[in-house]
Structure 1
């Protein structure tokens, strides 16, 4: 760790106790702490002690349930506004830039990025913007290291199997507009989305998606803190990853 990260960690231990960052410290040891599930080997960091479960019940965590409930209740308005934006404000969308790739047939409208709300998106997607801000951002349930965006997979598009960077955040999908022929596979188990409902999964496990339908598949994706992480761990992970990104010229 850099001196800056050491200083940040020391301050967190001072506030929360000497053992508050034990799991983060284990993650940074040679070998990365606990043994990994075979389908997590592509992830860079695995925080030990979190449930090694690919699929999660979106209503199963008291911390996350208000976000899920609010998004599902807002679905009719979210879909109507997004459909209108896709038809009339296409310039608001862009190719999705994953850390591994960029795809023209995978479009995105960002609501939260770089640790802040994307104010320009309040126009084309006002309901989603407000619900996200009130229930995920203002409550600090969103992982500020990542983002929230509408993910539009065009007909015939496929997202190749891959692991995301870590397991200490978790991916929530609100199914906004789902044609027949769409699927998502996580750790070898394939499911589909139910329009108006949420899916929750650990994207440190290998996952892939495809749209074999006849119109775009649209989900609202929100990167939330894994509910089994603690407040001091979250503070430490933000300090750690932010410093790494700065050293790599990506922050």
Structure 2
């Protein structure tokens, strides 16, 4: 760690307790053995996080209100997204995953590069309102990542991969789902049900596909894993931000 990060960790320990950053430091300096085989390609695994690929979207007290609000807003969100897709298609971009870029995987961002994308509020006002109020303002969003509408075109697939870490968790609100779509996380395959959410740990190997005849759209929101503490979230944000600055 840089001297600046070490000083910041010391401030966190003074505020939250002497052991409040232990798991983060073990993640950075430990042996790296705290992982399931299907997390082998993830960059960082925070020790002590339950190695569960799939979660019930309603089981976590912190996340359940977000799920309920998004699901209740689904009809308006779908109507606004479909209107944007028809009239403002140029606002959607090829999704730039850290491992790949796909023209048949389109994205409209609500949050990117550490900030809200205000231009998207005009296109998706309901989703932006719910996301801002229920996720950002409550501190549940992992600001190191994104929130975006993910649209897979017919015939598109996302190759099996692990995402970067296990200390955030991925929420999918199923917006518009044709037949022939699915997602596999670890050893279990599921289908999206329109208007409902899926929640999974994307440090596990996962893949998705659209074998249907029209686009498949979901809203993807990166939340802090509910088994992380406030101190750890602060420390992880500092560490990853500094690593990105040094490697830019």
Separation in 2 of the partners of 1:116 and 1:35?
32
Aligned-partner Cα distance in 1 for 2:222–2:143 = 8
Question: What is the Cα deviation at residue 188 of structure 1?
Answer: 2.0
**Count of residues in Structure 1 that have an aligned counterpart in Structure 2:** 248
2:51 partner SS:
coil
**Equivalent residues in 2 for 1:49-60, closer than 5 Å:** 49-60=48-59
- Work out the CA distance in 2 between the residues paired with 1:72 and 1:30: 40
Shift in Å, 1:229: 0.2
Q: In the alignment, what sits opposite 2:19?
A: 19
Query: Where does structure 2 lack aligned partners over 5 or more consecutive residues?
Result: none
Shift in Å, 1:221: 0.1
For residue 91 of structure 1, report the CA deviation from its aligned partner.
Answer: 1.3
Deviation for aligned residue 1:35: 2.8
Q: Give the aligned partner of residue 28 of structure 1.
A: 28
In structure 1, the residue matched to 2:140 is: 141
Structure 1 stretches of 4+ with a deviation exceeding 3 A read none
Secondary structure in 2 matching 1:28: helix
Matches within 5 A, 1:1-251: 1-32=1-32, 34-249=33-248
Q: Once the 2 structures are TM-superposed, how far is the Cα of residue 64 of structure 1 from its aligned partner?
A: 0.6
Q: Distance in 2 between matches of 1:115 and 1:12?
A: 21
Offset of residue 28 of structure 1:
1.2
Task: Give the whole-Å Cα distance in 1 for the aligned partners of 2:243 and 2:188.
Answer: 33
**Matched-pair contact (CA < 8 Å) for 2:106–2:150:** yes
Q: CA deviation at 1:5?
A: 1.1
SS of 2:194's partner is coil
CA distance in 1, matches of 2:174, 2:127: 12
The unaligned stretches of length 5 or more in structure 1 are none
| SS of 2:223 mapped into structure 1 | strand
Question: Secondary structure of the equivalent of 1:87?
Answer: helix
Could you tell me whether the CA contact under 8 Å between 2:34 and 2:45 is conserved in 1? no
* 1:63-114 Cα deviation digits (max 9, x unpaired): 0111100100000000000000000001110000000000000000000112
RMSD: 0.7
Once residues 17 and 124 of structure 1 are traced to their aligned partners in structure 2, the CA distance between those partners, rounded to angstroms, is: 44
The structural deviation recorded for 1:26 is 1.0
The one-character-per-residue Cα deviations of 1:125-164 (angstroms, maximum 9, x if unpaired) are 0000000000000101000000100000000000000000
Q: Secondary structure at the match of 1:142?
A: coil
Displacement, 1:52? 0.2
Distance in 1, Cα, partners of 2:144 & 2:236: 9
Native 8 Å contact 2:105 2:152 kept in 1 = yes
Tell me, in whole angstroms, the C-alpha distance in 1 between the residues paired with 2:68 and 2:141.
15
Deviation at 1:116, TM superposition (A): 1.6
